[in-house]
Amino acid sequence: MEERGAMEAATAEAELVSIPATPRGLSTPETSVTPKRAAAGGAGRTKALWTPSGAASAVATPRLLSPGMGTPMKRVVVSLRGYLEEVGHLTRLNPQDAWLPITESRNGNAHYAAFHNLNAGIGFQALVLPVAFAFLGWSWGIISLTMAYFWQLYTLWILVRLHEADPGKRYNRYVELARAAFGERLGVWLALFPTVYLSAGTATALILIGGETMKLFFQIVCGPLCPSNPLTTVEWYLVFTSLCIILSQLPNLNSIAGLSLIGAITAVTYTTVAWVLSVSQTRPPSISYEPIMSSSSTASVFSVLNALGIIAFAFRGHNLALEIQATMPSTFKHPAHVPMWRGAKVAYLLIAMCLFPIAVGGFWAYGKLMPTGGMLNALYAFHSHDIPRGLLAITFLFVVVNCLSSFQIYSMPVFDSFEAEYTSRTNRPCSIWVRSGFRVFYGFISFFIGVALPFLSSLAGLLGGLTLPVTFAYPCFMWVLIKKPQRYSFNWYLNWCLGILGIAFSLAFSAGGVWSMINSGLKLKFFKPN
């Protein structure tokens, strides 16, 4: 009987799918699960035996663990099931992922997720929130900001859960998930432009804002001792771009976790300093909190839409959620969505503690007198002689450091795309020189675009409208198409309604942003170079 039990165990091991070696840099095994045929019964009769992609569930079926099974066979099955639970999903992974910046290192954790989400989710766009309140007023401003916050928090939860929606598959990039939900061709068309626009457009805007802030920082520090022929604004753009290129030589997303931590700390600090200094100073005379009214009803409607677009633009970073989660190991016992969601909750709690006070405090301090450039412009215009020069300089320095850090995380998907194209053509990883060349090229391309289109940093409403589907609409559609909730259930109605509203708001906010840009002479300029 023991020999018979040993033979059964050997047969069961042969039937189970083998697990090949994992490529270096990946923490989950790669396998291909294919149906098998095995003879059963008499001649000419066959029975299909196959293992689904979630092979551990097949190992634990009641048939295999039935009371009639021999004890040696039970031991083999139980120990193999434990092994599968330890190593994780039997995931079909592309070995090329071990060469790319997003998935090269998979040792991320909840702390890294918090740093990256906070660095990606808060930045210069928070400083223009009081501008939106100037057009919306107290009630609609607070209502709109609150609704947008909880809406985007829900869609972030959707993306975290959809990262491993299909057994045996991890969607490591936003475009990959869009292709799985909408189809190969339509998914690329829908997701590629807004995600690339968010990454590359934000990086270009950061060069403009960082360079202009460096110039103001230099003017504040040197004061009357400034040379008679200081650097021009374009030259400050070049200085900032050079610093970005130096920092971009860090190889992958996990390697910039320290930079994300620095960026998160500086962002929280300068947003807090901005509203604390504003509310602690004497308010300007003749302040009013009535919404700004335009000359016609049409102009008022478009101004409100543009203000709502500014609020939508304040919530960015969803295009990086899947990429951040892809840096984490994932097993049956410890799936990646657990540390990712834990870190994201901490990050977005801190984001709320920054966005709401700066929007409310900034509008309380300046009302309709809020400059179109945002909080730092207001501080510089109304209180440059009241605030100690050193404190003002440190605030501007924090803005520069945050822009340098945000440039790295928003550029990483673009670096990943460059290297994915190279490795797919050459079937080998990028050398250090090729990788460095890609990043130098991208940095200077962003610089030249910024010089040619210096108004990119002023299009907050338009940017919010164009990229709104990535945050507010697409995740809802993806949930319905991939998870397939019961038709006409609450979950089905909720996601369809939110998705359709997101698309409608995107079109309306984009129209408001275009109208504001044309009729206001690009008045959302963040800083006006001297």
Q: What is the pLDDT of residue 517?
A: 66
**Structure-block tokens of residue 131:** 């501008």
Q: What's the predicted TM-score (pTM) here?
A: 0.79
Distances in Å between the Cα of 203 and the Cα atoms of 122, 394, 530 are 14, 23, 23
Q: What is the pLDDT of residue 139?
A: 92
Beta partners for residue 47, in sequence order: 38
SS3 455: coil
Rounded distance between C-alpha atoms, residue 155 and residue 175, angstroms: 16
- Tell me how far apart the 2 most distant CA atoms of the chain are, in Å: 99
Q: What is the pLDDT of residue 23?
A: 41
Rounded distance between C-alpha atoms, residue 302 and residue 354, angstroms: 27
Rounded distance between C-alpha atoms, residue 130 and residue 367, angstroms: 8
Using alpha carbons only, how large is the chain's radius of gyration in Å? 27
SS3 47: strand
CB 432 within 8 A of CB 218: no
Instruction: Give the confidence band of 72 by pLDDT, cuts at 50, 70, 90.
Output: low
Q: What is the pLDDT of residue 46?
A: 37
Residue 460, exposed/middle/buried by CB under 10 A (0-12, 13-18, 19+)? buried
Please check the confidence at residue 307 and state whether its pLDDT lies above 60. Answer: yes
Closest residue by Cα to residue 493 from 506, 503, 480, 481: 480
183: left (phi over 0), alpha (psi -120 to 50) or beta: left
SS3 25: coil
Rounded distance between C-alpha atoms, residue 530 and residue 504, angstroms: 39
Q: What is the pLDDT of residue 12?
A: 46
Handedness of CA 484, 487, 491, 495 (dihedral sign): positive
Instruction: Give the confidence band of 388 by pLDDT, cuts at 50, 70, 90.
Output: confident
Phi, psi of 47 (to 5 degrees): -130, 130
Return the percentage of the chain with pLDDT > 70, whole number: 77
In the chain, where the domains are located? 104-520
Q: What is the pLDDT of residue 78?
A: 62
CB 511 within 8 A of CB 299: no
Please check the confidence at residue 285 and state whether its pLDDT lies above 50. Answer: yes
CB 128 within 8 A of CB 460: yes
Distances in Å between the Cα of 228 and the Cα atoms of 236, 309, 413 are 16, 41, 42
Handedness of CA 477, 483, 484, 490 (dihedral sign): negative
Q: How many CB atoms lie under 10 A from the CB of residue 155?
A: 26
What is the β-pairing status of strands 46-49 and 36-39?
antiparallel
CATH 3.30.530.20, domain 104-520, yes or no? no
Please check the confidence at residue 36 and state whether its pLDDT lies above 60. Answer: no
Q: What is the pLDDT of residue 149?
A: 96
Q: Which residue has the higher pLDDT, 460 or 134?
A: 134
Please check the confidence at residue 15 and state whether its pLDDT lies above 50. Answer: no
For residue 47, how many C-alpha atoms fall within 13 Å in the half-sphere facing its CB?
A: 5
Mean pLDDT lowest for which of 113-122, 150-159, 351-360, 450-459?
450-459
Closest residue by Cα to residue 523 from 310, 379, 365: 310
pLDDT in tens, 85-139: 455 444 555 677 889 999 988 889 999 999 999 999 888 889 889 999 999 999 9
pLDDT in tens, 167-220: 778 899 999 999 999 998 899 898 888 888 778 878 888 998 899 889 888 888
Rounded distance between C-alpha atoms, residue 467 and residue 193, angstroms: 9
**Structure-block tokens of residue 270:** 């300068």
Return the percentage of the chain with pLDDT > 90, whole number: 43
**Eight-state DSSP code of residue 284:** P
